[in-house]
Chains A and B, each alone.
Chain A
Amino acid sequence: MGHLMLRLQNLTKTYKTGDQALKEIVLDVPRGQVLALIGPSGAGKSTMIRCINRLVEPTSGAVMLEDVDLTKLGFGALRRARREMGMIFQEYALVERLTVMENVLSGRLGYVGFWRSFLRRYPQSDVDEAFRLLDRVGLLHMADKRADELSGGQRQRVGICRALIQNPKLLLVDEPTASLDPKTSRQIMRLITELCHERGLAAIINIHDVALAQMFVPRVVGLRFGEIVYDGLPTGLTPDKLTEIYGEEDWEATIEKVDEEEDIEAAE
């Protein structure tokens, strides 16, 4: 398992209603690799990410984070394992009535005791790291603002800081750009991928915007009805492949647009 960060072995999730959200998923993610998970709504992207850190309990199969099977862990061990996995959410999921700094520091909750966190007396090293991360995403001056005063893009930056301050090995990213405008979406995707490279983090990014995924990641996995139907380079996503993932539609425009956008990126 030396170079592997995460391995999903026959991961299956069947909801109580009988819906099979994930069917025997097999997936290897090497250290430091950033991959995008694409697919239509309801394909199981969100469920897959949540089954990894067990916000949703998988029905069967194994989730190996390095050499540990997360599905076998008891309550306390799971809590410690979750510290290794940073999560970034759709709609940011910041605690709105807490300050930016409290939100960022909440990423350290797995490491500090209850009273320290209750009294907001975090170790100086944590506070320094929070300041450094906020500075890195350009929000240092917002540290004491309340989270609900921020714009969408700013909130997602705070969400990124909260995930990174955990000092994770793996990032789980759920539709990070779902409610952002196109320009902010790109900035956020660029920030996430840059930070992953800086820190050598592996990441799984759920994203429904195919063009955006192609622009930023070296590997794309396509999910349909809970099964992997594509796994390869972003350039391999031909209209046929997209039809297989999403269903019948005219894909030429999407793909052409990507090429143009890449040119623009290169020009910048």
Chain B
Amino acid sequence: MSHRELDDMLGKGWRKPAFVKNPALRWTLILGFVAYLIAAYMTIEVNWSRVYEGLDRGWAFVLAFTSPDFTSRWSDIWSGLVESIVMTVAASVVGIAISIPIGLGAARNIAPLPVYVICRGIVAVSRALQEIIVAILLVAIFGFGPLAGFLTLSFATIGFLSKLLAEDIESMDKVQAEAIKASGARWTQWINYGVQPQVMPRLVGLSMYRIDINFRESAILGLVGAGGIGATLNTAFDRYEYDTAAAILLIIIGIVMGLEYLSGVIRARVQ
């Protein structure tokens, strides 16, 4: 019986079964998507004469990088930089500290359902509101300056870090945690011995990454009045001082690369 089946199959080709089984549906989906792509690209209008005019301005901007001006506005740059660093450090510490309990609560395998729903809700709200929107709102409430930036970044850190921490906790090795529970440990001890060691490398890595993001964001938030190096950058653009703007951008790039290197070193150490 099975030999007959085998004989029928020998000599016949073999293909991996298609993801969408129905060929008509499969080709409709593929062709439909291609048609949409073509249509979508065609709706993006390009004003070529405007591009031609803009090229000069763009070129001036690029040229400025060859002669960045660190000196003439140095005191502005320095105070903006200090403000940005203060914002970054303060917001990262507060954000990370708040993220840890919310991340624990947002992990379905360790939190009871009501806590889980509340914590996931907080994460969803934080992630739904983009930094710029939050910053505009907070500037409206607290006025111009780094306080609004600090609060914005703290808020954004919570959404980012809690979510990723919770996902790491959900994918941890259950048995290691079970073994701690079986010894009669309290809940806090269980978290400290059974869960924390498993998620620590990722928590440290994510925190470093978030510090990096917070610094970059602090440069953007200045554009809407939330203080920091972004405010200095904005002023430089308004005055068409591209050489000063270039100097600021170079400093930002340098600091971000420095942070990247530092986080690499730290992550390697906590592995």
Contact = CB atoms under 8 A, between A and B. Distances in A.
Interface in B143-200: 173, 175-176, 178-186, 188-190, 192-194, 197-198, 200
A79 B188 CA distance: 13
Interface in A78-122: 79-83, 85-87, 89, 91, 93-98, 102, 106-111, 114, 117-118
Contact of A79 (B176, B184, B200): B184
A53 interface: yes
Nearest to A83: B184
A53 B200 contact: no
Given A109-B189, A109-B193, A87 B184 contact: no
B198 A95 contact: yes
A89 B186 contact: no
A106 to B, nearest CB: 5
Contact of A110 (B173, B183, B200, B201): B183
Contacts of B197: 95-98
B249 to A, nearest CB: 40
Contact of A55 (B178, B189, B192, B200): B178
Contact of A106 (B173, B178, B186, B193): B193
Given A95-B193, A117-B193, A166 B179 contact: no
Interface residues of B, number: 22
A118 B180 CA distance: 14
Contacts of B186: 79, 109, 114
B183 A109 contact: yes
Interface in A165-224: 166, 172
A162 interface: yes
Contact of B176 (A83, A93, A109, A114): A93
Nearest to B180: A106
B200 A114 contact: no
Nearest to B193: A106
Contact of A53 (B175, B182, B185, B192): B182
Best-buried of B173, B188, B189 by chain A (most CB within 10 Å): B189
B189 A117 contact: yes
B80 to A, nearest CB: 41
A166 B184 contact: yes
Contact of A109 (B173, B180, B198): B180
Contacts of B183: 82-83, 86-87, 106-110, 162, 166
A126 to B, nearest CB: 12
Contacts of B178: 55, 89, 93
A82 B186 CA distance: 11
Contacts of B182: 53, 55, 82, 85, 87, 172
Given A114-B189, A117-B189, A94 B179 contact: yes
B111 to A, nearest CB: 16
Nearest to B177: A95
A215 to B, nearest CB: 27
B185 A109 contact: yes
Best-buried of A85, A97, A172 by chain B (most CB within 10 Å): A97
B179 A80 contact: no
Interface of A: 53, 55, 79-83, 85-87, 89, 91, 93-98, 102, 106-111, 114, 117-118, 159, 162, 166, 172
22 contacts: A55-B182, A81-B184, A82-B181, A82-B183, A83-B184, A85-B182, A86-B183, A89-B179, A91-B175, A94-B176, A94-B179, A96-B197, A98-B197, A109-B186, A110-B185, A111-B184, A114-B186, A117-B185, A117-B189, A117-B192, A117-B193, A118-B189
Interface of B: 173, 175-176, 178-186, 188-190, 192-194, 197-198, 200-201
Instruction: List 10 A-B pairs, minimum CB-CB distance, nearest first.
Output: A110-B184, A109-B185, A82-B184, A93-B179, A83-B184, A97-B197, A87-B182, A93-B175, A109-B189, A114-B188
Given A95-B198, A102-B193, A106-B193, 11 more contacts: A83-B183, A87-B182, A91-B175, A95-B194, A97-B198, A98-B193, A106-B179, A107-B183, A109-B186, A110-B185, A162-B183
